[in-house]
Amino acid sequence: MPTSATVAITLNGEPYDLAAERTAAELVEALGLTGRRIAMEINEEIVPRSQLSATRLEAGDRVEIVHAIGGG
Amino acid sequence: MTLLQDTPFTVAGRTFASRLLVGTGKYKDFDETAQAIAASEANIVTFAVRRTNLGQEAGAPNLLDVIPPSRYTLLPNTAGCYTAKDAVRTCRLARELLDGHNLVKLEVLGDDTTLYPNVVETLKAAETLLADGFDVMVYTSDDPIVARELEAMGCCAIMPLGSLIGSGHGIQNPHNVRLIVEQSQVPVLVDAGIGTASDAAMAMELGCDGVLLNTAIAHAREPQRMARAMKLAVEAGREAFLAGRMPRRQSADPSSPFAGRING
């Protein structure tokens, strides 16, 4: 069960509880993705890399983090 | 020897030495991907956008390390999208991924048996993407009327299928591809269905500006060798198109003169 300190979001389609992370940049860091070539969308809106630190995560946010893979 | 000239291959104001565009899917590993792409000598390389695997090691290799944007023009592809909305979201994520690079391959699929383009959703997505500043290379059916609509909207390249994606059935309706080539002011590329080198050469002989393929190389027994075959086929087909083929005849026409024969 989430404690009062956690914030429930949806991350890449799955339920995810934020512990201490409160910004998009902190989430990226907690996932070990800092410095990797990724792109993020919150509630279907792009979050530019330059805005990750300034973007606060709220309960219920739907977050997508994507990267490049092989494809035609 | 006279140097034979060709007009450069230009898409949305960008000029490329190679008329072969290749995908990065279905390879067994990144080494094989890198070797095949290098052997193809393609300049434009497509990739897909997918959810990051959470929990992967920080040092895991990334496709963009193997196919660096500094060396290739990366073409994000909306493959796997079945609605205009998902295709538009994918393109915006790709633009963020590539630091503002705005050239995309739009592909909106109709169903997972045929992967046939859903042209209604494709037209909707193209409209939104063009208004948002993207340069849109569009995968579509071989319907010349749809192709004309997409060009009129402002798509920078029209890419009709030769046959179903990944089928290797070659160009099923060369007459339609030729109709699209003849009416289009923007580049036309056969995208999907190429199975072997002669299919790629045929596309170029029909007057296409380029060929986009993936599985024909990735699923060849020797991908690197097939990549080179495709490069040569695209060049050969282009040269044959520019040279202009001989007329077809009903009866034989000897290559050696009749006069001066020793018989009779």
User: Of A38, A44, A70, which is closest to B52 when you measure between CB atoms?
Assistant: A38
pLDDT of residue A47: 97
B192 marked among binding-site residues:
yes
Closest Cα of chain A to B196: distance in Å?
Answer: 16
For residues A22 and A4, the model is more confident at: A22
Nearest to A44 among B26, B89, B97 (CB): B89
* Residue A21 scores a pLDDT above 90: no
Question: What integer pLDDT is reported at residue B4 of this predicted model?
Answer: 78
Q: At what angle do helices B197-205 and B223-243 cross, to 10 degrees?
A: 20
Nearest CA to B173 out of B131, B203, B139 is that of B203
Query: A11: which chain B residues are within 8 Å (Cβ-Cβ)?
Result: 54
- Chain B residue numbers touching A38 (CB-CB < 8 A): 52, 97
What's the rounded Cα separation, in Å, for the pair B40 and B247?
32
Q: Are B125 and B88 in contact (CB under 8 A)?
A: yes
Question: Could you read off the pLDDT of A26-44 as tens digits, one per residue?
Answer: 999 999 998 889 999 999 9
Minimal C-alpha gap between A3 and chain B (Å): 22
Instruction: Look at residue B56 in the predicted model and tell me its pLDDT.
Output: 65
pLDDT for residue B185: 97
pLDDT score, position B57: 57
Tell me the count of A-B CB pairs closer than 8 A.
103
The nearest alpha carbon in chain A to B47 belongs to A71
Residues of chain A positioned with their CB less than 8 A from the CB of B56: 32
pLDDT for position B246: 95
Residues of B whose CB is below 8 A from A71 = 23-25, 46-48, 77, 79-80, 214
Under an 8 A CB cutoff, do B96 and A11 touch?
A: no
CA distance B139 to B191: 7
pLDDT tens for each residue of chain B, 264 residues long:
566 788 989 999 999 999 999 999 999 999 999 999 999 999 999 999 999 988 765 667 889 989 999 999 999 999 999 999 999 999 999 999 999 999 999 999 999 999 999 999 999 999 999 999 999 999 999 999 999 999 999 999 999 999 999 999 999 999 999 999 999 999 999 999 999 999 999 999 999 999 999 999 999 999 999 999 999 999 999 999 999 999 999 999 989 998 998 986
Give me the pLDDT at residue B2, please. 63
pLDDT confidence of A6, banded at 50, 70, 90? confident
Q: Residue by residue, what is the 3-state secondary structure of B72-85? A: CEEEEECCCCCCHH
Catalytic positions of B are 105
Nearest CA in chain A to B48: A71
The model's pTM:
0.92
B50: which 2 tokens?
């997918």
pLDDT at A60 over 90: yes
Query: A13, B23: Cβ pair inside 8 Å?
Result: no
Alpha helices in chain B (DSSP H): 30-40, 63-66, 84-97, 119-131, 144-153, 174-183, 197-205, 215-218, 223-243
* Cβ contact B54–A11 (<8 Å): yes
Give the strand pairing for B44-51 and A62-70. antiparallel
Known binding residue B80? Answer is no
Please tell me whether B157 is known to bind a ligand: no
